[in-house]
Structure 1
């Protein structure tokens, strides 16, 4: 019997490949034993046929397009985590993986993007760029208080369970390492702080999930240059109009939750002095960056100071995020680093970036995830679609 070319050899455990092929096929399609024997005519083969028929009758719900992985006794759900500094391309990579290779759903782990509102200021991925990939905890939280890591752990775990029940791969994506740590560790203490600057608590290496950590990294000078450019693009896209509505809302802006997003405290002095609301300044100015600056030198100076602070604080945030990732790696977390610097340098120079991104980020990521899915998990029997392992596109 000739097996399909894409039948993964990782399925071979205690039996030849033909055993698994017929096992899947007849447990899914037929109610009776195979019309001919896939095994040699021996006493051992006869015993196998008997066992094969009984197993097929009791497992008719198993589908032929799933590859069986034998695991150990305690289950661990497989989860892919894409981490990195703000602006490093995490969202792009997650959408590329989800739409081109793997059936996934994405769980956001950015502590500002979990809140509803300020989509431009928090740089949420637009709906058109999500390309139909389901996202969880992206703009879902509406209460004004700060979402604690323990609360995120509970909400994200629920989302992951739902994704797994639909036989899809959970993909956790975001730059908030305190959220990623709270979600991933087996025993999380809400009172602990492993990222504290002075005398931090020990980092746990016992994880509740079987995790594949992909770290998208960009050289800091290049990333800083890109982040400043991105702030200018956000301003041109209506960020100040959005903040004007936020500060002009009734009741006033919260100092917790979304009120901590970069852009809100920086522009607070501007809107306190010149007003805001309904995308218009207190003196009727509104509708664009030039209009928000105005002709008044004082107004322009306050505006430019706010923009300068946003750029500085964004670059400082990226540096802190990389420091936290390095701490996790030094503690023993297996983080697989991908260097996207060349793609960002090409983007800043106005050159073609697609080929560089494909070669240096996309292709290595696909190999990492395929190898991760092909590994035996630490749990019960688990099923993964064969095309994920064989490299077939959707």
Structure 2
């Protein structure tokens, strides 16, 4: 009787924007929330939920949020320990209920597919990791992913050709360093924190372990003597840390795409939006000294935003 009632009850509507890191999810969510004032945004990035390291974790800056309510972004105190998929299911579920009670609708936005899965499935087993790397290659592994969801979901999947996405991610890491990422990591560094067993929560953010290794050799805050300013060994260690961050960011994107494909194979109705040309325009413009400008904006509007608006309009009318 309980199963039947859960399947036939009227389900609340939820818009979900998925995609690999750096694929434009945050931008699209804000644009849609501007066009459809009924929306509020819930972050589903498992690192961005924590307070701190705003540059390193690439949180959307406040001035880009356009006064749209954003939930679970920088809200969790990292000293309280790991924020698990079960925690996300509980907290985000309560936020969705509150948003719905105010006659608004939630947009779930983020690259952590384990969080998205935990939140959306009707029955979630916290003891079973359906994205376990050891089982991901099994041809039957997608059968363990349920397509029985507890909300009426509209999925927008931001997809970009991987070579283009990889090139863009390398550029984005450089931009993050230009914005002060090293200073931010230096303030976060604690001597003796390089033990992998201590890596929980915010300490798992890409950038932290890579620069912990650098800071062990060259502790932040110590004044540089003249000979160390252009020390080849110091510069080599720095470049090694930067390269590791770039490599690990691209590997993260690859894993995220693999998980999205597994969800799609399991029957999740993901509406693919190909943003490849828009991101290629950004890279081409930058290589010629431009800023992405109208070429990028025009392609983005035509190939990403306008199709998204049509999908969302139909979803809201259902």
Same fold (TM over 0.5): yes
Aligned to 2:248: 313
CA RMSD of aligned residues (A): 2.0
Aligned to 1:354: 297
CA distance in structure 1 between the aligned counterparts of 2:299 and 2:169, rounded to whole angstroms: 20
List 4+ stretches of structure 1 deviating above 6 A. 249-253
The counterpart of 1:231, out of the listed 166, 169, 173, is 173
CA distance in structure 2 between the aligned counterparts of 1:103 and 1:172, rounded to whole angstroms: 14
Are the counterparts in 1 of residues 194 and 212 from structure 2 also a CA contact under 8 Å? no
Are the counterparts in 2 of residues 248 and 275 from structure 1 also a CA contact under 8 Å? no
Aligned to 2:51: 116
Aligned to 2:38: 103
Rg (Cα) greater in structure: 1
Aligned to 2:223: 283
Are the counterparts in 1 of residues 78 and 202 from structure 2 also a CA contact under 8 Å? no
Are the counterparts in 2 of residues 270 and 303 from structure 1 also a CA contact under 8 Å? yes
Are the counterparts in 2 of residues 102 and 169 from structure 1 also a CA contact under 8 Å? no
Aligned to 1:266: 210
Give CA deviations for 1:348-391 in whole Å, capped at 9, x if unaligned: 1115211110000001101111111111xxxxxxxxxxxxxxxx
Aligned to 1:217: 159
CA distance in structure 2 between the aligned counterparts of 1:234 and 1:294, rounded to whole angstroms: 22
Structure 2 stretches lacking a partner, 5+ long: 1-6, 286-291
Residue 252 of structure 1: CA displacement?
9.1
CA distance in structure 2 between the aligned counterparts of 1:206 and 1:294, rounded to whole angstroms: 59
What TM-score, normalized to structure 2? 0.88
Residue 99 of structure 1: CA displacement?
1.0
The counterpart of 1:368, out of the listed 303, 308, 311, is 311
Structure 1 position 146 matched with structure 2 position 79: no
CA distance in structure 1 between the aligned counterparts of 2:254 and 2:160, rounded to whole angstroms: 11
Structure 1 stretches lacking a partner, 5+ long: 1-71, 286-290, 376-394
The answer to which structure has the higher helix fraction is 2
What TM-score, normalized to structure 1? 0.72
The counterpart of 1:85, out of the listed 12, 15, 20, is 20
CA distance 1:250–1:126, shift in 2 (3 Å): farther
* TM alignment of 1:282-301, pairs within 5 A: 282-283=222-223, 294-301=229-236
CA distance in structure 2 between the aligned counterparts of 1:129 and 1:85, rounded to whole angstroms: 20
